[in-house]
Homo-oligomer: A and B are copies of this chain.
Amino acid sequence: MYNKISLKDIAKELNLSKTAVSLVLNNKGDANNISRPTQERIYAYAKKKNYKPNEIARWLSLGKTKTIGLIIPRISDSFYANIASYIERRAMEMGYTVFFSSSNEDPKKEATLIQSMFSRQVEGLIIASTQKNHAEIKYLKDNNLPFVLIDRHYPDIDTNFVVVNNYSGANRITKHLLKLARKRVGFITIKSDLKAMKERLRGYVEAIELHTENHNELVKSLDYEKFESQMDESLSDLIFFKKIDALVFSTHFLVRAGIRSLKRLGIEIPAKVAIASFSELSEFDLVNPPITVMRQPVKDIGNTAVDILFSELNELKDVKTMERTKKQRVLEPEFLIRKSCGS
């Protein structure tokens, strides 16, 4: 295998001790009085044999892995894939490797992954949680394990987190549509316990309730597993019976299904119904018309999460036991106004 040759092999071959070889190869030769000629012999032989230290053994003795873990609901979701790529970049700059894995929105699998990541000695974890692992997160916190929650947090547990202001984002979208003189703005979301989703709904509701009575009938909550098949019915009800002239989608993948439905129903965007989306797909500007979107600050989420995690790791080194104050960031999304809501 890659590590055909070990420290011991080198030591034996050169008639030296493992210690000497290890010191030299870790650039501690001078500091430990290993003579120059000996150092050179070691370097030369190591290079010749293409010696690579066995990282596992090294971690075992150092207790350091230079690795952090990232758990996301799914990598196939471009939102998380993009966050992952920024996290990876930032971590790489700090000399760290990122260990990804996805929970597929399954709390049990998430719990397993958290355990497995830590038992694989990641130094810290960034988690976009299913939000259904209360006990597990509490456990991490109580045991002073370094972690940062992103995108989804547990409001009643005091942890580090980086989230987006879902309330204000949805609120701004709705108000924008109302300002464009749309009279009846509908809202399509998925049934979900995720706080993000609830907040988006709240943002919508608090904007619309000042303008529209009976706004409850303008909201449709679809099932996560079958929103595609439910979309036609929900939309025709909203459009033909509830007479909406604008529509907010609570998340990107709903938009994909929504536009497909609107096409099938022959509804023109934005003439008949204006639409806007919370959360973005990189193709939203290609669609005809291009989709107005409240874009989540993906890069910022990733970078901030890494920075918080590293500051946490550093503090841990200094203050062992003390409870640290948690770093909590609520980032504002960015509003990209396009044709789909009519100028």
| A interface list, Cβ under 8 A from B | 1-4, 52-57, 59-60, 65, 74-76, 78, 81-82, 84-85, 88, 97-102, 115-116, 118-121, 143, 145, 256, 259-260, 281-288
Contact = CB atoms under 8 A, between A and B. Distances in A.
A102 B3 CA distance: 23
A288 B283 CA distance: 12
Contact of A256 (B1, B2, B283, B288): B283
A85 B102 contact: yes
A53 B85 contact: no
21 contacts: A3-B118, A3-B119, A52-B115, A52-B118, A55-B120, A56-B59, A56-B60, A56-B121, A57-B60, A76-B78, A78-B78, A88-B101, A97-B120, A99-B99, A99-B100, A256-B283, A256-B286, A283-B286, A283-B287, A286-B286, A288-B288
Give the top 5 A-B pairs by smallest Cβ distance, nearest first: A288-B288, A283-B283, A2-B118, A76-B85, A81-B81
Greatest chain B CB density within 10 A among A54, A100, A118 is at A100
Nearest to A3: B119
Contact of A97 (B1, B3, B101): B101
Contact of A76 (B3, B65, B82, B143): B82
Contacts of A100: 75, 98-100
Contacts of A121: 54-56
A100 to B, nearest CB: 5
A37 B127 CA distance: 40
A20 to B, nearest CB: 22
A284 to B, nearest CB: 8
A297 to B, nearest CB: 15
B78 A74 contact: no
A1 B313 CA distance: 12
Given A99-B99, A287-B287, A75 B75 contact: yes
Nearest to A298: B76
A18 to B, nearest CB: 16
A4 to B, nearest CB: 8
A287 B285 contact: no
Contact of A260 (B85, B259, B285): B285
A327 B313 CA distance: 44
Contacts of A59: 56
